[in-house]
Structure formats: C-alpha cells, structure tokens
Structure 1
C-alpha cells in the first residue's frame, strides 16, 4: 500500500507542472497574434528597410496607391508603397493594412492585375525586369497584403514574415 501512495504523490506534481507549462505556452501564442494585428504598415516597412535598402525606390502616397492597385481609400487603415524611381524598372514594395480582413482577397486580385499589366509592358522590352515580375511575392496575412517586386523580394518577404 505504501508503493501506491508514493506513486500517486509523484504523479500529481509532475502532472501539475505539465499543466502549468501547457497553460503558459498557450498564453504566449495568443499575445503574439494580438501584437502583430496592432502593427502599422509603417512599422512593418521600417523592419523591411532594416533588412534591405530601399534607396533606389521612391516612397509614394495614397493617390499613387489608388492609381496602381485600384483600391478604395476608405478600406485602407495604413500602408507603405515604394516604386522605382525610373519607369524602365519594375521594382515595387507595398504593405497595406486593411480595415477589414474580408477585403484582402479583392485587394490581392487588384495587385495581381497590376503585375500582369507590368509583365506585358516589360516582356519584350526589359527581360531582366520581366524576370523580377515573374518572381514577385504577393501574399496576405490577416488584414495585411504584401507585394514585393525586386531582386531582394525574398529578403523583403522574410522580414515581413518574421513579424507574424
């Protein structure tokens, strides 16, 4: 009978520790999600700029965002947009935080149309730029839509993904 008592005493503290560890880890997951939802597109842009140089690109305004991607200004919470300083280059970087996550797919479709238009423009004219367009990164994460057309699109994507 003493063996049974001893086994139960050891079992209880081990189970208690296990339950506490699971609870703590579960709590951490929820906090990270809330923090990423609170980030502005400007903050995300700063993180991307730390990973890659955007000196060859020009920061654009809301009018340019609407013109390039046909996006309703009322649906945008925050954004960053960089485009090439020259019309013979295809470089673009956009991070758009939408007010409503349900709009992310339609915004992504508009951005895909922009990419297709750019591909037609550069296909026979600038093969190196066409290659960048072919290998662009376009994705959504919740309320965020991310587009990168650049030689450093992979690094931009990694910087974006690291924030979520």
Structure 2
C-alpha cells in the first residue's frame, strides 16, 4: 500500500514538473508594443535589405488598417526586385490572430505568383518564411535569416 502511494506521488510530481517546464518557457510579456519588439530585433543587426514602411505599407501590401491593431511595425524590401519583409503586430484581441495569419498567407501567395516565373531565389525565400504567434503578438519574416529574426522576436517578448 505504501509503495503504491509513493508511486502515485512520484507520478504527480513528475507531471507537475513537466507542465511547469513546458509552460514556463512560453511566458510572454504582453506590455510591449510592436515598436519595443522592433527595437530589440533591429539592435541584433539582423534586419537587412528592408526599410520601415509604416502604416501606409500595411494598407498597401496587406489591405489592413493599423488602427485595427494595438501596434504594428512593417518592414518591406528596399528594392522591388526583392521579397524581404518583416511584420510585427500586437493585436487588440487574440481573436484577430487567425484572420491576420490568413492575410499573411495571402500576401506570401501573391508574392509567389509575382516572382514565380523569373525569381527562383525570391520564391525560395518566400517558401521558407517564418510566422509565429505568441500571446497577442504575431511575427512574420521573409529573409535569408528569417529563422534568426524569429529567434530574436521570441527573445524580445520574454
């Protein structure tokens, strides 16, 4: 009887430890703005071949109004022959995330159609984009170093 109790307690402790380990890593600081996150990412030196576009670019390239979100930062390519982009959005409500992810997918598909017949390098970048949502934040990047940009985003929101 004592042995069964010890095994149950050990199992419960193991489950609690596992849950703590998995949830402890996903804590997000939701007091940040997209600009705060932008500064952290830009300070890494990873943002290359892009320029900050602002809210007009959000409307032009994504058909979205910045006022629908808490805060937004958009970087687009310096040249019309490139596809490098970075989008950081803090949504007002988590219910906006799915629609925003769909809009980003539409943007990628549109870019793939535009570059499909003559831009194999651009298409390769577009096919390897990074999209991450954490808490009230969405991060999207198309770049040679998109994975590193995503890692910088994840570090910035801790």
Is 1:51 the counterpart of 2:48? The answer is: no
* C-alpha distance 55-128 of structure 1, shift in aligned 2 (>3 A): closer
1:32-47 equivalent positions in 2, closer than 5 A: 33=27, 36-47=29-40
Give ranges in structure 2 of 5+ residues lacking alignment: 1-16
The residue number in structure 1 matching 2:53 is 60
Q: Which residue of 1 aligns with 2:70?
A: 77
Q: Report the alpha carbon displacement of residue 36 of structure 1 after superposing the two structures with TM.
A: 1.0
**Greater fraction helix:** 1
**CA distance in 2: counterparts of 1:140 and 1:151, whole angstroms:** 20
Note if 1:133 corresponds to 2:145.
no
- Select 2:105's aligned residue among 108, 112, 125: 112
1:9 corresponding residue in structure 2: none
The whole-number CA distance in structure 2 between the counterparts of 1:71 and 1:77 is 13
5+ long unaligned stretches in structure 1: 1-21
Task: Note the alpha carbon deviations across 1:62-81, whole angstroms, 9 max, x for none.
Answer: 12112211223332111111
Contact persistence 1:52–1:156 (CA under 8 A): no
Cα displacement (A) at 1:104: 1.0
Q: How many residues align?
A: 139
Detail structure 1 runs of 4+ shifted over 2 Å in the superposition: 50-56
TM-score by length of 2: 0.78
In the alignment, which residue of structure 1 is the partner of 2:82? 89
